[in-house]
Amino acid sequence: MSEIVEGTDRPSTSSITSLESIKTSGNAGFDASRIAEVKAWLISQFDAAGKDLPDFEYTPRSIAHLHKIVALSQAKTQAATIVANDFRQKATEYRSQAARIREILEHVGLVQDSLPSNVVSSAQVLANAANLLNIRDTELSSNGGFVSEKNCSRREEG
């Protein structure tokens, strides 16, 4: 009931199709679609590592466990892709905003090279503090709610 696949031979469409003819009674872990999915995932993982798929015995138990690993791996890969795309988009937006701000500063004559070193270092300290405090916007309106909320909580405590 099990099949041994040579690691150097990749399953062709015909071998995957022949797997679909495998029928097991009462064991959902050993159906042909799961075997094909597990094989494809194993091949992609070994290819990514530059290795050949070793000889492997496909049993109902191994297919069931590997299928769970495949599902987890695919979900984590999808989540990582979403986060990476979000970071790329934010980086593009930040570069664009930095270029816009640099252009405005140059227009009014405030290029970084013309500023004293203590002003540049103070601005860098301020930027680092804003990053640590997770302040994304320096507009008064964006921080006004926070300040008024803190003032209200201090009055209630006192």
Report how far residue 13's alpha carbon sits from residue 6's, in angstroms, rounded to the nearest whole number: 15
Q: How many CB atoms lie within 10 A of CB 10?
A: 14
The reported pLDDT for the residue numbered 58 is 85
Q: Determine the 3-state secondary structure of 71 from DSSP.
A: helix
CB 39 within 8 A of CB 16: yes
* The two three-digit tokens of residue 88, written as one number: 């790329």
> Model confidence over 3-29: pLDDT tens digits?
444 333 444 433 333 343 334 434 454
State the pTM of this model. 0.52
Ranking 24-28, 31-35, 65-69, 143-147 by mean pLDDT, the lowest is 24-28
Q: Which residues are paired to 58 by β-bridges?
A: 3
Q: Determine the 3-state secondary structure of 152 from DSSP.
A: helix
More confident residue, 118 or 114: 118
Phi/psi of residue 8, nearest 5 degrees: -85, -20
Q: Determine the 3-state secondary structure of 116 from DSSP.
A: coil
Whose tokens are 């301020």? That residue is 126
Q: What share of the chain has pLDDT > 90, as a percent?
A: 37
Mean pLDDT of all residues belonging to the chain? 76
CB 30 within 8 A of CB 60: yes
